[in-house]
Amino acid sequence: MATADRTFDLAVVGAGPGGYVAAIRAAQLGMRVAIVERDKLGGVCLNTGCIPTKALLQHAELLHTLKRAEEFGFSFDNFRADFGKAIQRSRRAADRLSKGVEFLMKKHKVPVFAGEGRLAGKGTVEVTGADGKMEGLTAARVLLATGSRPKLIPGVDVDGKRVLTSTEALILEEAPASLVIIGAGAVGVEFADIYAAYGTAVTLVEMLPTILPLEDAEISAVLHRVFEKRGIAIRTKTAVDEVAVGADGVEVGVLQEGKRERLQADAILVAIGRSPNSKVEGLDPLGVEVDRGFITVDDAMQTTAEGIYAIGDVTGQPLLAHAAMHEGIVAVERMAGLPARMDRDKVPSCTYCHPQVASIGLTEAKAQAAGRKVKVGKFPFIASGKAQAMGETEGLVKLLADAETGEIVGVHIVGAGATELIAEAGLAMALEATPEEIAATIHSHPTLSEAVGEAALAALGRAIHI
Amino acid sequence: MATADRTFDLAVVGAGPGGYVAAIRAAQLGMRVAIVERDKLGGVCLNTGCIPTKALLQHAELLHTLKRAEEFGFSFDNFRADFGKAIQRSRRAADRLSKGVEFLMKKHKVPVFAGEGRLAGKGTVEVTGADGKMEGLTAARVLLATGSRPKLIPGVDVDGKRVLTSTEALILEEAPASLVIIGAGAVGVEFADIYAAYGTAVTLVEMLPTILPLEDAEISAVLHRVFEKRGIAIRTKTAVDEVAVGADGVEVGVLQEGKRERLQADAILVAIGRSPNSKVEGLDPLGVEVDRGFITVDDAMQTTAEGIYAIGDVTGQPLLAHAAMHEGIVAVERMAGLPARMDRDKVPSCTYCHPQVASIGLTEAKAQAAGRKVKVGKFPFIASGKAQAMGETEGLVKLLADAETGEIVGVHIVGAGATELIAEAGLAMALEATPEEIAATIHSHPTLSEAVGEAALAALGRAIHI
């Protein structure tokens, strides 16, 4: 490759959702841009994260519904759900999308350099391929989008059989008979849903008082109740203090409010969070500040070193693909002198279990802790005509509005369709809409989205259907 | 009942979604309000329309998915789908919601007068019960929410066996072997979906060039293709000019672009539109103007007679429950001196077939006909990660924005989740948001709602994922 072909306006390190979106936006803005990726295009999200998980959750949802087949008037004999085929379908979805990213890179004429990237000085990225060969790129600007990886329990090795992280849980050949999931954040909860649907006896262990501890407590409580009803064992306020991996299974020592116990399972899934991939070689000499593992950035996503930007998981909360994508766009637009700004307070968050959970903004507890006086409007799906027609009546929409200004402070949803319903709340918060404006918007009948309108009305003291 | 108990600030005639919502809002505003209903609380929508239809469509959706069971790794023998049980479940959903309206009337202290209402003079409503007994109410204002009924083919009697309207199609004991549906609007299309899922050989006949003729032609074309692939026979530009009902079936004479033919079926479903129930006795002497069957109203929903208001289907397009509900609120708020206005240009419209169809604002053809120059942004679901994960990749989002002002002129969706996705578009249009604002809003990944954001980006010439 000629030197000219290795000289760019921008080199993006990491082709996850943040990185590849940034590369596309950069190309749209006329930059010469290259992308470096050591694994598959699409990164964790697309290959070993969101996408295959959501594919498996689609199976889980169908299985939940089929358990109520009689209610729907369906009958059949010898029902079998092949877990391996679910994994295969999820792989096909991931592969199709990874090919899609490849197509997008070609379309936008973004060369892909396969290998591990390191910073070899200001404006120089060295890429070491799997074969050990090294290639050097020069770029006026570098964007680090190196992502994150599952956090591990020190001393407990991931073997893909007894000890899993989300990565291995996505490619098991069959569902284990029993599984202890350590950590009840989005990842833990989604895998609890998937494996329980395939007959695994799941125990969900969480150190904090509620599952999905980042969500509003009232929302988590609904999911907790539904999960327990479905046979998922949940232990909150429970710390894991020992993991003993044997030939036949795993023993997990837990401490629950002073009570010590040992849980047995065929396997454990470690879902205690994610660690940033911030050990990019060469960061330090260039003056890129890293705080507790996360790269420090400003609202243009620039690091403390001029010309070096960072986006996505490697820069810290929220560790969400759509945040990374947006940050990628913001970073590149700012490089191009356009006005753009990342507002991490307005990032929706979704968990695709059943019932689904989605939220944006502050929880009621966080609003109170921040000293904000809020009006709370709630609408339960049991009062929704569409939810009744679907036979999916669990859950509620909870909307918090500032008692003085009317500003929407947060929207929290648990129930069917939550992850799509949050889009309206996202637009409302982005546009600083008031509950009055949501309430005055005509929502189609019968849809689940009416519940968002009714929650807004409820916050104003005038819900119609409760 | 004492005279005092029959004197009201407002008498609502008709307890469909428009009427009962108006009554609740009136009670919230401190009015003494009564409601008159000759049949069940909740009206057509709740009892013989939207709600039971959507319940049946939920069955149809599951059946569509189960046809792809192998792809999901599910296997079973002797699958049977009991149509009667589907009908039963739909009835239970409707009954629960009708009881819900009863509860709401009690909660808001709205007395329900059972019977047919007539206007016996200014401020007087006479209610004749099923037993022939008459009761008189006096009310400062009267709100007519008498709704509509299926339009019939002159000379073709509905017998509930060979000749059906939506009302009878919702309570059949079993699915007919073959069915000709006359009219491919929302009702015709939804029943085509339901009955085809239960194995009926469906022929959908439409006089106009496209099915769902009110929708954007590109959207209709997607549905047309999917329906045909599924085995639903579609005949557009086809007029019905003869219906012969026999003991064994029905023969339908059709004329398709000059070609005459006879279709045979076990039954026909007449879905050619709805007629307003505007023959309320006593309207005429009070000076209430009726235009081609529809009661004329102003933007406060007041008729041409002072103190007499009308809302919903009886006042004309759009014949949609959520329009009626909103009109009910507008009418009552205006009575109370509050600022409120009905804007019929911003009413979303949904068809709950599979894939779903939803839209708001102008179609591309209508925008052109109105002389508006629009930018069109399209995003196909095949490029959506969530659609891929779900295995539901048919369809697209199409967003039209005014080429000069950027104003969103219309949003049209066909695909999974369309009827919920339209909510964000509804809020956007209500708030006069621009495509830039939708694009700048962070949509959760992976969700179908990202397609709305991408369609907005596409209208701006900078979609990411296509």
Q: What is the pLDDT of residues B290-332, one digit of tens each?
A: 999 999 999 999 999 999 999 999 999 999 999 999 999 999 9
pLDDT number for residue B209: 98
Residue B286 sits at the chain A interface (C-beta within 8 Å): no
- Whether residues A51 and B388 touch (CB distance < 8 A) is answered with yes
* Whether residues B267 and B281 fall in one domain: no
Give the H/E segment covering residue A52: helix A50-66
Q: Is residue A114 part of a domain?
A: yes
Instruction: Answer whether A423 sits within 8 Å of B62, measured CB to CB.
Output: no
Residue partners of B292: CB distance under 8 A and separation at least 6: none
Residues A108 and A23 placed together within one structural domain of the fold? yes
B259-278: pLDDT as tens digits: 999 999 999 999 999 999 99
Name residue, tokens 């196909």: B380
Reference B408, options B424, B396, B420; nearest CA is B424
Q: What is the pLDDT of residue B3?
A: 64
Burial of B278 from C-beta contacts in 10 A (0-12 / 13-18 / 19+): buried
Q: Could you tell me if A370 and A332 lie in one domain?
A: no
Question: What are the tens digits of pLDDT across the range A452-462?
Answer: 999 999 999 99
**Residue-level pLDDT at B4:** 65
- Give pLDDT, residue A281: 87
Q: Are residues A189 and A239 in the same domain?
A: yes
Q: Are residues B28 and B119 in the same domain?
A: yes
Q: Among the three residues A272, A307, A331, which one is the final residue of a domain in this structure?
A: A272
Confidence at A5, pLDDT banded by 50, 70, 90: confident
| Cβ contacts of A355 within 8 Å, gap of 6 or more | A222, A223, A226, A392, A394, A395, A414, A415, A416, A418
CA distance A243 to A295: 32
Catalytic residue among B108, B354, B443, B445: B445
**Distance to chain A for B137, nearest Cα, Å:** 25
Same domain for A192 and A46: no
Per DSSP, what are the bridge partners of residue B452?
none
* Selection from B347, B342, B344 nearest residue B300 by Cα: B342
Instruction: Return d(Cα A77, Cα B301) in angstroms, integer.
Output: 56
User: Given B345, B375, B403, which residue is the final one in a domain?
Assistant: B345
CA atoms within 13 A on the CB side of B298: 12
Q: Is A326 a catalytic residue?
A: no
Please tell me whether residues B268 and B284 are part of one structural domain: no
Q: Do B62 and A65 touch (CB under 8 A)?
A: yes
d(CA B301, CA B311): 6
Residues A180 and A206 in one domain: yes
Amino acid B5: pLDDT: 85
Place of tokens 């009958």: A75
* Residue in B267, B52, B53, B64 with CA at minimum distance from that of residue B176: B267
Work out the pLDDT band at A1, boundaries 50, 70, 90: low
Would you say residue B430 lies in a domain? yes
pLDDT in tens, B362-384: 999 999 999 999 999 999 999 99
pLDDT digits 0-9 by tens, B80-97: 999 999 999 999 999 999
User: In this structure, is residue A464 part of a structural domain?
Assistant: no
pLDDT tens per residue across span A203-222: 999 999 999 999 999 999 99
Residue A127 tokens, joined: 């890429």
**Residues spanned by the domain of A92:** 3-150+275-345
Q: How far is B258 from chain A (nearest CA, A)?
A: 39
pLDDT classification of A2: cutoffs 50, 70, 90 = low
B73 and B168 both lie in a single domain:
no
Chain A neighbors of B420, CB-CB under 8 A: 417, 420-421, 447-449
Per-residue pLDDT, averaged over A290-307, amounts to 96
Residues B341, B395 within the same domain: no
Please indicate if any CB of chain A lies within 8 Å of the CB of B255: no
Q: How confident is the model at residue B281 (pLDDT cuts 50, 70, 90)?
A: confident
Residue A193 pLDDT class (50, 70, 90 cuts): very high
Could you check whether the bond before residue B318 is cis, i.e. omega within 30 degrees of 0? yes
Within-domain flag for A206: yes
Q: Which residues of A touch B434 (CB under 8 A)?
A: none
**In B279-376, alpha helices (H):** 321-335, 364-369
Among B316, B345, B374, which residue terminates a domain? B345
> How many separate domains does chain A show?
3
Is residue B100 in some structural domain? yes
Burial (Cβ within 10 Å: 0-12, 13-18, ≥19) of residue A97: buried
CATH assignment at residue B406: 3.30.390.30
Contact check, Cβ <8 Å, B80/A84: no
> How far is Cα A51 from Cα B423, in angstroms, rounded to an integer?
24
A446 and A363 belong to one structural domain = yes
For residues B378 and B382, what is the distance between their CA atoms, to the nearest angstrom? 12
Burial B124-153 (b: 16+ CB within 10 A, else e): ebbbbeeeeeebebbbebbbbbbbbbbeeb
Q: How far is CA B275 from the centre of its chain?
A: 14
**Within a domain: A55:** yes
From the list A104, A383, A452, the residue facing B465 with the nearest CB is A104
And the tokens for A18? 């943040």
Contact residues on chain B for A422, CB-CB shorter than 8 A: 444, 447, 449
What CATH number does residue B38 fall under? 3.50.50.60
What pLDDT does A297 receive? 97
Distance CA B212, CA B360 (A): 14
3-state secondary structure of A367: helix
Residue with tokens 């929708």, as numbered in its chain: B215
Is residue A156 situated within a structural domain?
A: no
Rounded Cα distance, A303 and A463, in Å = 47
A125 pLDDT higher than 60: yes
Q: What is the pLDDT of residues A10-41, one digit of tens each?
A: 999 999 999 999 999 999 999 999 999 999 99
What whole-number distance in Å separates Cα of residue A117 and Cα of residue A127? 4
Residues within 8 A of A (CB atoms), B 383-442 only: 383, 385-386, 388-391, 417, 419-424, 426-428, 430-431, 433, 437-438, 440-442
Helices and strands counted in chain A (H then E) = 14, 25
Structure token pair of residue B409: 């002129």
Q: Please provide residue A344's backbone torsions phi and psi, each rounded to the nearest 5 degrees.
A: -75, -5
Quote the CA–CA distance of A35 and B125 in Å, as a whole number.
Answer: 75
Q: What is the distance, to the nearest Å, from the Cα of residue B208 to the centroid of all Cα atoms in its chain?
A: 19
d(CA B461, CA B353): 31
Strand pairing partners for B233?
Answer: B203
pLDDT digits over A404-420, tens only? 999 999 999 999 999 99
- N residues, chain A: 466
**Residues B302, B367 within the same domain:** no
SS3 call for B148? strand
Of B57, B82, B431, the CB nearest to A437: B431
The label of the residue with tokens 């629009």 reads B374
- ipTM value: 0.97
pLDDT at A113 over 70: yes
**Residue B156, domain member (yes or no):** no
- Residue A254: the pLDDT is 98
Q: What's residue A4's pLDDT?
A: 65
Rounded CA gap, A399 and A428, in Å? Answer: 11
Residue B390 pLDDT > 80: yes
